[in-house]
Amino acid sequence: MERLEITRATVLELATEDGLPPPAPLPPGYHEILAAIGQVDQGLRAKDICEALGTGTQPRHTEATRAKLKRLVSRGLLSEPGPGLFTLPQSDANSN
């Protein structure tokens, strides 16, 4: 969860440096997804997140979760290093 807070602080800081408005708050359910991904190092797939959250693993659940994951990627809160694999973005400090 600490990595999520650092990522959020970084995004907010970068937005203010560029003169952009801060990002909108996340809708319900998104924080739980971020927390589930923050608990693992290797990343998760949509079905894994559904299992972790107890929402069911039927295609309708995994596809709805996948759509949320893609939205989080587009906001820069997650990265997709491989097709269907979602992780927290790596900070510059961790890549050195």
6-33 pLDDT, tens digit per residue, is: 877 787 777 777 676 666 778 888 989 9
pTM, two decimal places: 0.71
CATH architecture of the domain formed by 2-90 = Orthogonal Bundle (1.10)
How many Cα atoms within 13 Å fall on the side-chain side of residue 42?
Answer: 2
The H-or-E segment that residue 31 falls in is helix 30-38
Cα–Cα dist 87/35, whole Å = 11
Instruction: List the one residue out of 28, 29, 19, 30 whose CA is nearest residue 7.
Output: 30
The predicted pLDDT at position 11 comes to: 74
Structure tokens at 71: 């939205």
How many Cα atoms within 13 Å fall on the side-chain side of residue 61?
Answer: 14
pLDDT for 70 beyond 50: yes
Predicted confidence band of residue 96 (pLDDT cuts 50, 70, 90):
very low
pLDDT tens by residue, 29-39: 898 999 899 89
The predicted pLDDT at position 20 comes to: 66
